[in-house]
Chain A
Amino acid sequence: MTEEEKYQKLKDIVQTYLPDDVTIESVGLESNFTTQLNINSANLVDIVLDVEDMFDIRLENEDMDGMQTVKDALNIINKKIAQ
């Protein structure tokens, strides 16, 4: 899977959780899930589960704590795939 493919798949996941007034076009690498994209922090755990299913990995509590932005998420996904 190329970096671009991973990014696209992550965006597909995130799209479901965006509030009505935030479009998928506004999602960038530096976007912060809660403060910029206004995703309810309670939904972060659901994004983590979707990511686990999509990339066949397992994220621990500590991984989730470090997952503030889209880029953070991609870094963690890459780290887990490499393990």
Chain B
Amino acid sequence: MNRVVVTGLGVCAPNGVGLENFTKALTNGQSGIAFHNNLKELNFSCQIAGKPDVENINLNKYFSNVQLKGLNSSGLVYGVLAGVDAWMDAGLNNANDETPDWNSGIIFGTGILGVDKFRESIYKLDKGDVRRLGSTSVIQTMASGISAYLGGILGCGNQVTTNSSACTTGTEAVLMGFERIQAGKAKRMLVGSCSDSGPYVWGGFDAMRILPRKYNDTPEKASRPMSATAAGFVPGSGAGALVLESLDSALERGAKIYGEVLGGAINSGGQRAGGSMTAPNNDAVQRCIQEAIANAGVTSNDIDTINGHLTATSKDPAEIENWSTALNKTGKDFPFVNSFKSHFGHCLAAAGSIECVAALLQLKEALIFGNLNCEDVHPEILKLVSEDKIPKETINFQPKIIAKASFGFGDVNACLIFSQFTK
């Protein structure tokens, strides 16, 4: 089986667009969560969110003029920025005009795409103006629009598809691409995910009353993973992208290598035994972590860093307990653990991929990025984890093996094991 390494990264996150800005923001503990007046005007209880700032990005670098005309799909913009950046970062070029790159594919997930475009279309349609929808309402709103746009820009000739599994989506995409290269069906896979921003995506979560509503004046304090005062997740948006490549191909090209994907696992709790549409079956979460470790060919003793799902709800202590049980580690033996949601909120379908990018940057930079807003670590968590394993500021530490997990509505789980690359 082929070994699989990461040779390119791209990111469009609420606290930084592009690798340099994103790395700086995570290192310095800069939040990307801000107050949004349109949410206030629409009577949202939670009027804060994480939204990438693409105002000053030259979109002509990424899209043709025709593509930019009538473009009203924020997720598509974020996804193309992150995906193309990752491809360039890997030192790869777009395929020539005649022949697609048969050995390169794309698995780029999303939850729902082009919500603003869809709304625009619905208004026209309801007025009886269907003929005025234009030619792009389909391609901007089909779920696979993001992989289709990227596939066309880059000229990929291998599998080009979009996966969807709620907040697990991004992590699942990495695992699917990894397996395809491992099995020898592709040499390179651009994997990642994107999520639209705006009230039409976030409104449903506000209606479920699972978002914090007391931080509208102090948005940067709102996302509090692992904290005793965690009050719900802050909705986010954006995109993350990774270029996965067979080790042979990477070495042949002399590509830089961020790290290796050792393995992973994916499962579902079946919405049984405490699991539901919105809550995880703890047994399934533990199995997923343990299966990922076994699949990677390592042991729980090898894991020195965890990047959790940890959304900043009352469920965070249960997640830590699942990690503790799955790894059989407590106190000072527990790995370093962090949640980047404290910086940019919960980017929903994009969460897994943005967080995987951040996890790999930790390998490259020899840092563990600090957790924000958990100066009051939840007492149930402190019973299981020594407080110094939950860094509140970025620390110098070279992770060797990182476990990264994401969990989603529908009781679905995914866990990946990344390692420092050594020949």
List the interface of chain A (C-beta within 8 A of B).
40-42, 45, 61, 64
Residues of A within 8 A of B208 (CB): 42, 45
Q: Check B278–A42 contact: CB distance below 8 A.
A: yes
The 4 closest A-B pairs by CB, nearest first: A42-B278, A40-B276, A45-B209, A45-B208
Q: Check A45–B207 contact: CB distance below 8 A.
A: yes
CA distance A46 to B278 in the complex (A): 15
User: What residue in chain A is nearest B409 (Cβ atoms)?
Assistant: A42
15 residue pairs bridging A and B, Cβ less than 8 Å apart: A40-B276, A40-B277, A40-B278, A41-B278, A42-B208, A42-B276, A42-B277, A42-B278, A45-B207, A45-B208, A45-B209, A61-B45, A61-B209, A61-B213, A64-B209
List the interface of chain B (C-beta within 8 A of A).
45, 207-209, 213, 276-278
Whole-angstrom distance between the Cβ of B45 and the nearest chain A Cβ = 6
CA distance A3 to B276 in the complex (A): 34
Whole-angstrom distance between the Cβ of B221 and the nearest chain A Cβ = 19
Residues of A within 8 A of B276 (CB): 40, 42
Residues of A within 8 A of B277 (CB): 40, 42
Whole-angstrom distance between the Cβ of A33 and the nearest chain B Cβ = 14
Whole-angstrom distance between the Cβ of A40 and the nearest chain B Cβ = 6
User: What residue in chain A is nearest B277 (Cβ atoms)?
Assistant: A42
User: What residue in chain A is nearest B276 (Cβ atoms)?
Assistant: A40
Residues of B within 8 A of A45 (CB): 207-209
Residues of A within 8 A of B213 (CB): 61
User: What residue in chain A is nearest B210 (Cβ atoms)?
Assistant: A42
Whole-angstrom distance between the Cβ of A26 and the nearest chain B Cβ = 20
A40-B278, A45-B208 are known; give 7 further A-B pairs, CB within 8 A: A40-B277, A41-B278, A42-B276, A42-B277, A45-B207, A61-B45, A61-B209
